[in-house]
Chain A
Amino acid sequence: MPEDETVHVTVGKVGLDLPAHLFRTAGQPIDSASGHYEGPGISVHIDQGPFSGRLDSHIGRPAYREEALQVDGHPARRIFFRSPDRNTHTVALRIDSPHPVTVVVHADDSIPERVANQIIESLRLTTPNRRGGEDK
């Protein structure tokens, strides 16, 4: 399978394209629509609902930077930081919509940052789905 091949997944009202080799991990969402996908050197965490995190505590971490953007008309914030002790980087997105969304991509430094950015940039908010949770 080519490295860049992707598959579209939907979690709650969030649709995005993930590298095809990622697999969904087990785990019961407690009080939100959430999904976790993992593959060698990379993990993607999607959380949609009133309790999803705003990512504020990452401010001050190594190489931290953030940018404001719009996703499907909603204000959003993309952040980036590194964890040098673990040789990883993180790209994350927070969308402040009536149904807030947080997506966090952690990856080893062996994986180009563009992979995480492509995942984030593929995100679209889907037609409202009362209970969310369609899987790949």
Chain B
Amino acid sequence: MKKRAPESATVSSVETVGIQESAEGFVAVKDFLKRFGYLQTNGAQPAQGPQAAATNVLDDATSVALVKYQARHRIPVTGVFDAPTREMMSRSRCAIPDIGPGAAAGVAPAFSIAGAWNRDTLTYAFGSGTNDVTGGEEFQAVRRAFATWSAAVQIAFREVSRADSPDILIEWTVADCPDTDMTGNVIAHADYPPGFGFYGNALPRPVHFDNQEHTWCIGAVAGQFDVETVALHELGHILGLQHSDFTDAVMFDTVDANATRRFLTPDDIEGIRRLYPYRGPVFAKHSGRCLDIEGIATGNGAHAHQWDYWGGQNQIFRVEWVEASHYRLIAQHSNRVIDVEAISTANGAQIHQWQWWGGDNQKFRLDPLGGGYYRLSARHSNKCIDVEAISTANGARIHQWDWWGGNNQQWRLGPAPIVSRHSGKALDVYAISFDNGAPVIQWDYWGGGNQRFRLDPVDSGFYRIMAESSGKCLDVEGISTANGARIIQWEYWGGANQQFRPEATGDGFYRLVARHSGKVLDVSGISADNGAQIIQWDWWGGNNQQWRL
């Protein structure tokens, strides 16, 4: 879709633009990114006619530049030009480029942790609300805060009634609440997970908003506090995070009235990943195949290669935080880690598994590249994990190589698109809905959070597939076992109709088999149109039943 903006568009007037979309005036965004060092200049003259239209396209290089900008400014890393990015670029700033020769990449972390829950599904309920806002909007704001955390960590949250023994109870209380006296200086409080509590360890864990001394609002209102902003902070404590000393972090210890802070920063995300390491397969973007230890070998020196995902434990990695921005990748079958052979710093050095000894050749920096993909750079060499010769074949060797931006150097470690083989369109939650029951359709990928899904291992090779924007999971409507039953999103409650097993069909594509019915995800009517409903159907081998993960 082509979008329009005034001829003399500045960054602030450019509309939201997705990947491979264009909008008049988008060239102003590219100019901004070039000026401040995020996008390389090519020295070309200003384009005219069709070429000018091309400059208004959000292409791959611009998406990567946006990712760098977003990560550096601690706003949601989407790789598209969206509202938070427009707002940040429109602010007054100094004229010195952010990135230049000798500049260091990224921002060092400042998070702190208390401890983690020992399960990956938590329930919550609401007690009393506040009369400061109408229509239950305070509860909806808290639900959005849950969804924001859920997008960053392999935990699902489900709302239950207060009578259902929730894990977390959210309520607006008097200042001198049963746990602590909030009178005066503070506006809310929570507590840490069981076993790490400050006010005790019993369930439900409390989130209390002071309803006596402060006025609550939705959005930025003078003299009032945004519910979602404070809820996001308190839920960080509920998950086990302490305060960060980064002033822009959600977990920073102060907030301003008349302001919002509703997006996790890289510091918050790194902290939560330390508490809850990612676990699952690591897919290569170019091939759809995943990182695999050859021969399911358990010894030191077994080579890494790419292979179709088949559910082997040699394809499941636990990505654990080690130190500032660096992680180790632990193979589940062997408990050994991904390691650059012989601590080599050369291009082409083999990636294999080895026992953990703390070497820098076993530590990898994760840099987000947008769309749920990451670059994995070895600390000792600064080279990245790469599939040799951009091969898409099973068995292709994994080695380290200088970063050049290839899709064979990009690895799925977060919510990413799931793309239909027959249409090239992505799974999409209709209308970016937040609600249970929203249909799941196919749509051109434009970078929306409703088009990115995370695979959380459940057991026996089955996964829950969670939408980034809502924190809700793919679900076969009504637990139906019939052909044609719609796929919708729903809170995860552990149903077999919410669990799917990827099974390779060749060429890096997969069918997704529903656990309760044995049927597969299917684009209704073999449609290639935007908006086509996703359903379940008996497997018959159609391209409309095959997906790139």
Which residues of chain B come closer than 8 Å to A131, judged between CB atoms? 181, 183-185
Complex Cα distance, B185 from A11, in Å, reads 11
Of listed A26, A30, A84, residue having the most chain B CB within 10 A:
A30
The reply to whether B108 and A27 form a contact with Cβ atoms under 8 Å apart is no
Interface residues of B in 108-122 (CB under 8 A from A): 108-114
> Does B143 sit within 8 A of A, measured CB to CB?
no
Task: Give the segment of A47-55, A69-77, A116-124 that binds chain B.
Answer: A47-55
Within 8 A of A (CB), among B343-386: none
**Out of A26, A57, A132, which one reaches B324, CB within 8 Å?**
A57
Distance in angstroms from B214 CB to nearest chain A CB is: 9
Asked whether A114 is an interface residue with its Cβ less than 8 Å from the other chain, the reply is no
A133, CB-defined interface residue at 8 Å: yes
* Contact partners of A54 in chain B: CB under 8 A: 112-114, 242
In the complex, are the beta carbons of A130 and B181 less than 8 A apart? yes
CB pair B242–A51 under 8 Å, yes or no, is: yes
Of A27, A54, A57, most buried by chain B (CB within 10 Å of CB) is: A57
| Contact status of A29 and B244, CB under 8 A, knowing A56-B113, A60-B323, A131-B181 | no
B425 on the interface (CB 8 Å rule)? Answer: no
Residues of B near any A CB (own CB < 8 A): 103-104, 108-114, 181-191, 198-199, 225, 230, 233-234, 237, 242-245, 247, 253-257, 270-271, 274, 322-324, 326
Pairwise interchain contact B186-A57, C-beta atoms closer than 8 A: no
Partner among B108, B234, B270 whose Cβ is within 8 Å of the Cβ of A31: B234
Give the chain B neighbours of A51 by CB distance below 8 A. 198, 237, 242-243, 253
- Asked, given contacts A51-B242, A53-B245, whether A30 binds B324 with beta carbons under 8 Å apart, the answer is no
Main SS at interface, chain A: loop
Residues of B within 8 A of A21 (CB): none
In the assembled complex, A67 has its CB within 8 A of some CB on chain B? no
Most buried by B among A29, A31, A34, A133: A31
Q: Find the residue from B112, B188, B198 having the highest chain A CB count within 10 A.
A: B112
CB distance from B472 to the nearest CB of A (A): 28
In the assembled complex, A95 has its CB within 8 A of some CB on chain B? no
Other-chain residue from A28, A59, A92 in contact with B254 (beta carbon distance below 8 A)? A28
**Contacts A50-B198, A53-B242 known; A30 to B188 CB distance under 8 Å?**
yes
Give Cα A134–Cα B474 distance, bound, in whole angstroms: 52
Interface status of A10 (Cβ within 8 A of chain B): no
Q: How far does the alpha carbon of A83 sit from the alpha carbon of B246 in the complex, in Å?
A: 14
In the complex, whether A85 has a CB less than 8 A from a CB of chain B is yes
A97 contacts partner chain B, Cβ-Cβ < 8 Å: no
Distance in Å: Cβ of A61 to nearest Cβ of chain B:
5
Number of interface residues of A (CB under 8 A): 34
Pairwise interchain contact A59-B323, C-beta atoms closer than 8 A: yes
Q: Tell whether, in the assembled complex, residue A47 and residue B243 are in contact, meaning their CB atoms are under 8 Å apart.
A: yes
Given contacts A47-B253, A51-B237, A58-B324, whether A29 and B243 have CB atoms under 8 Å apart is no
Q: What 3 A-B pairs are tightest by C-beta distance, nearest first?
A: A53-B112, A60-B323, A85-B104
Find out whether the CB atom of B253 lies under 8 angstroms from the CB atom of A34: yes
Inter-subunit contact B110/A28 (CB<8 Å): no
Return chain B residues, CB-CB under 8 Å to A61.
108, 324
Q: How distant is B207 from chain A, measured CB to nearest CB, in Å?
A: 10
Which residue from chain A places its CB closest to the CB of B210 in the assembled complex? Answer: A31
> What A residues does B182 contact at CB under 8 A?
31
Contact yes or no, B108 A132, CB < 8 A? no
Determine how close the nearest CB of chain B comes to the CB of A45; give it in whole angstroms: 6
Question: Do the beta carbons of A57 and B257 come within 8 Å of each other?
Answer: no
Assess the B112–A31 pair: CB atoms within 8 A: no
B54–chain A nearest beta-carbon distance, Å: 35
Q: Are A30 and B109 in contact (CB under 8 A)?
A: no
Residues on the A chain within 8 Å of B108, using CB: 58, 61, 83
From B103, B186, B188, B191, give the contact of A85 (CB < 8 A): B103
Closest A residue, CB atoms, query B190: A31
Q: Which residues of B contact A27 (CB under 8 A)?
A: 254-256
Contact flags A80-118 to B (C-beta < 8 A → 1, else 0): 000111000000100000000010100000000000000
Query: A92 to B184, alpha carbons, bound, how many Å?
Result: 27
Tell me which residues across on chain B come within 8 A of A31, comparing CB atoms: 182, 186-190, 233-234, 237, 253
- Given contacts A47-B253, A51-B237, A130-B181, could you give 4 more A-B pairs where the C-beta distance is less than 8 Å? A31-B188, A32-B243, A33-B185, A53-B111
B181 near A57: Cβ-Cβ < 8 Å? no
Which residues of chain A have C-beta atoms less than 8 A from B247's C-beta? 36
